[in-house]
């Protein structure tokens, strides 16, 4: 079977997400190649349920997977060991939960932890998402011990829709604790879905599940037009309040 992949010029609009390559193709969910990797294009892509993912040396590749892996914040699975770790972090006076104080460093650490297996977090990707962060549309959650960054996650938030991108940790349960904090923040701010993009065993273990792309795109259309989250800040009392259901 012959599948034609659209080649985009910089600034050219995306084709409908429904035109992504089907499940029986070599690259299910692949929508287009080319275009530009900048803040304007990223914002336009996310508002349509599209995300970039490609390795160094490849053209810019744009995806819209079907089904789409999502995490409903209230369905986060918190194990006993994660609960114990989160409590231990919250009791340590040297530990701090922060938001948006080291966005670029979080992205760089996410890329560094995946360097052996290949990473899509190229310098161009870092620059594009940093520009989106400067607009207040991309955010990082961070776990610090003193002046040392122990764990982080980052993603894009448009209206009341959060798109998770990547996370890293140097301590047991560090990134999972941040995911718990993100889920608590989402519940507080009326964010009903966290986009996880693709299906993995790890995400399934944390409570994520696939939904049909059509359902996902309808949710994106409804939530990205809502007022933006204003309170991108965090402290220990916020964490304890947001995550009380799991602790």
**CATH class of the domain defined by 7-66:** alpha beta
d(CA 183, CA 185): 5
**CATH class of the domain defined by 69-242:** alpha beta
Are 7-66 and 69-242 equal in CATH topology? no
Inter-CA distances, 195 with 35, 88, 162, 163, 166, Å: 23, 28, 6, 5, 11
Q: What is the pLDDT of residues 189-212, one digit of tens each?
A: 999 999 999 888 999 999 999 999
Question: From the DSSP assignment, how many helices (H) and strands (E) are in the chain?
Answer: 8, 11
For residue 4, what pLDDT band results from cuts at 50, 70 and 90? confident
Inter-CA distances, 119 with 61, 107, 110, 242, Å: 14, 11, 9, 32
Mean pLDDT, all residues of the chain:
94
Q: What percent of the chain has pLDDT over 90?
A: 85
According to DSSP, the β-strands at 194-197 and 68-71 are antiparallel
Q: Where are the domains of the chain?
A: 7-66, 69-242
Q: What is the pLDDT of residues 211-246, one digit of tens each?
A: 999 999 999 999 999 999 988 888 888 999 999 999
pLDDT surpassing 60 at residue 58:
yes
Global pTM value: 0.95
């Amino acid at each position: 079977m012959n599948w034609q992949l659209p080649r985009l010029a910089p600034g050219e609009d995306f084709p409908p997400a429904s035109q992504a390559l089907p499940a029986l193709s070599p690259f299910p969910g692949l929508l287009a190649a080319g275009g530009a990797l900048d803040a304007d294009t990223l914002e336009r892509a996310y508002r349509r349920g599209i995300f970039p993912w490609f390795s160094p040396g490849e053209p810019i590749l744009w995806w819209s997977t079907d089904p789409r892996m999502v995490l409903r914040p209230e369905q986060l699975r918190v194990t006993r060991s994660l609960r114990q770790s989160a409590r231990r972090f919250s009791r340590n006076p040297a530990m701090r939960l922060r938001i948006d104080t080291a966005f670029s460093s979080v992205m760089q650490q996410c890329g560094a932890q995946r360097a052996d297996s290949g990473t899509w977090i190229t310098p161009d990707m870092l620059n594009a998402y940093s520009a989106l962060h400067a607009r207040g549309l991309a955010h990082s959650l961070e776990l610090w011990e003193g002046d040392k960054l122990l764990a982080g996650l980052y993603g894009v938030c448009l209206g009341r829709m959060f798109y998770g991108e990547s996370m890293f940790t140097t301590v047991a349960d560090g990134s999972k604790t941040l995911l718990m904090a993100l889920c608590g923040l989402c519940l507080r701010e009326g964010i009903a879905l966290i986009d996880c993009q693709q299906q993995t065993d790890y995400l399934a273990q944390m409570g994520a599940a696939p939904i049909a792309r059509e359902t996902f795109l309808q949710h994106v259309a409804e939530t990205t037009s809502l007022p933006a989250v204003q309170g991108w800040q965090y402290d220990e009392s916020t964490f304890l309040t947001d995550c009380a259901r799991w602790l």
